[in-house]
Amino acid sequence: MENNVENLNEIKDEKKDKEKLVYNIYDFCESAITAIIFIMLLFVFVCRFLNVDGNSMVPTLSNGDKVVAMSAKYTPAYGDIVIVAQPNVFDEPIIKRVIATSGQTVNISNGYVYVDGKKLEEPYVAELTAKLGDQEYPLEVPDGYVFVMGDNRNRSTDSRFKIIGLIDERYILGKVKLRILPFGNWNVYKNFNA
């Protein structure tokens, strides 16, 4: 009789252990799924981590730099460095600087960029703008669009070229806020004076 009671207690203990294990697995899965959903929402609605591919933004950003872009909806402004997902010949997102916004007129003459007739002071460019692209100037930016250029003007394919064109604001994934790699060089706007 005593053996039966012991066996019954052992069976109850084993059942409790199995129930506890199942509960722990369920709890772990629930926590993991919640964390994955949170991270997905964070990357979709708040920020994105991207690698710079190419040298079109030198000296501000170099090939291989890692940047953080804020994805939250905002109104693009002159000088913002943005991530653009508008379909293009490269078939990948591009990183460029906003030069002109809706309603503004862009002109390029004698190596300088003019917006609404005013020459831009651009301490962030690598050299004067020799490449004009195949757009016709002066060029008025329509509502809902921006004109973007790389800081490395003569090695950048940007809004000056019809294969990229003016950027529909709906395709702007976010504004670059900081560089996370290389370490110690965080501020991507240090050479920008608006």
Q: How far, CA to CA in Å, does 73 sit from each of 14, 43, 80, 156, 167? A: 55, 13, 13, 26, 15
What lies within 8 Å, CB to CB, of 142 at 6+ separation is 102, 166
CA distance linking residue 49 with residue 143, whole number of Å: 29
Pick the catalytic residue from 16, 31, 96, 162.
96
Structure tokens that stand for 134 in this block: 């195949």
B/e letters for 53-68, b = 16+ CB within 10 Å, e = fewer, are ebbbbbebbeeebebb
Active site residue 119: no
Best CA proximity match to 125, nearest among 45, 182, 194, 58: 58
Q: Pick the catalytic residue: 16, 20, 56, 73?
A: 56
**In contact, 102 and 168? CB cutoff 8 Å:** no
The yes-or-no answer on residue 96 being catalytic is yes
In the chain, where does DSSP find H-type helix? 2-45
Catalytically active residues are 56, 96
